[in-house]
Amino acid sequence: MKWTRGGRSRNLEDLRGRSAGGGMRVPIGGRGGLGLGGILVLLAIAWLTGTNPLALLGGVDDGSASLPLDPSSDVAANAPEPESALEAERADFLSFVLDDAQSVWARLLPGYRDAKLVLFRDFVDSGCGGAQAAMGPFYCPADQKVYVDLGFFDELSRRVGAPGDFAQAYVLAHEIGHHVQGLTGTGRKVRELQRENPQRENALSVRLELQADCYAGVWAHSTERRELLERGDLEEGLGAAAAVGDDRIQQMSGGGLRPESFTHGSAAERSDWFERGYRSGDPERCDTFAS
């Protein structure tokens, strides 16, 4: 992706210089804030424990839930690490994507208010509770911030096979899509419907996540119109969307496919809705709830 390196966004909060803290259990925000990164932590836990990561999602609700972690992962005593050249480039790139995506939504959505991007290492206190880096990127509707540990992108590339800078851009654009849902009231309405009808909780979660994928595609459409895309960028975005499909995760965990347990959508659905947003550039075409 073509991008310009400059001063970092006023909406970027860099907490990486702070020493990490946290305990043995990690509160996880509600479905509207779990985002794409929440999938990958479940996959990591499945590799470590031999369990089905989709079963773990059943414990996530509108408030917060906890996942037990290995006490050896406590990093409270570690001193802050200096920023590497790779981290600096990633931070600058995400800063560019953040400002670019939000400028697009400011034009598309009257009354749009910027989200903040928080960079952290290891552990962070968010408005949705404490979070370990293992959660991956997530959006917290309580404070309207996206949280990212830059080391996540190494896992995205190596473990699930989604390399490239536009794969990283897709991740952030997806989380900004959750912010758009918060501003439009969609996230709140979905959580209300989930409380009223628990049997539809997973199905509603899937539609919420697919809409965020579509919104990411809407932003990608604008980058193509402005000739910011390079050869292979679209494929990187589509590949990242597919790589975190629920069916891919179940297959990688060694279990059988259980579509009724999906909470984010299949690989085909996620890449399809991202492409729909990309082809149309119209948020109105992202009504996954009417589909």
Mean pLDDT calculated for residue range 113-133: 94
Q: What is the pLDDT of residues 237-265, one digit of tens each?
A: 999 999 989 898 888 777 778 888 899 99
Predicted confidence (pLDDT) at residue 65 exceeds the cutoff of 50: no
Report the pLDDT value the prediction gives residue 28, as an integer from 0 to 100.
Answer: 38
Predicted confidence (pLDDT) at residue 27 exceeds the cutoff of 90: no
Global pTM value: 0.81
Report the pLDDT value the prediction gives residue 216, as an integer from 0 to 100.
Answer: 98
Q: What is the pLDDT of residues 198-228, one digit of tens each?
A: 999 999 999 999 999 999 999 999 999 999 9
**Those residues with Cβ within 8 angstroms of residue 272's Cβ, 6 or more apart along the chain or in another chain:** none
Q: What angle do CA 116, 41, 266 make, to 5 degrees?
A: 95
Report the pLDDT value the prediction gives residue 21, as an integer from 0 to 100.
Answer: 46
Predicted confidence (pLDDT) at residue 70 exceeds the cutoff of 70: no
Q: What is the pLDDT of residues 88-115, one digit of tens each?
A: 999 999 999 999 999 999 999 999 999 9
Report the pLDDT value the prediction gives residue 39, as an integer from 0 to 100.
Answer: 55
Who has greater pLDDT, 58 or 281? 281
- Annotate 133-149 with b (16+ C-beta within 10 A) or e (fewer): bbbbbbbbbeebbbbbb
Lowest-confidence segment of 66-75, 94-103, 161-170, 210-219 by average pLDDT: 66-75
**pLDDT confidence band for 177 (50 / 70 / 90):** very high
Report the pLDDT value the prediction gives residue 43, as an integer from 0 to 100.
Answer: 52
**Those residues with Cβ within 8 angstroms of residue 47's Cβ, 6 or more apart along the chain or in another chain:** 253
Report the pLDDT value the prediction gives residue 75, as an integer from 0 to 100.
Answer: 36
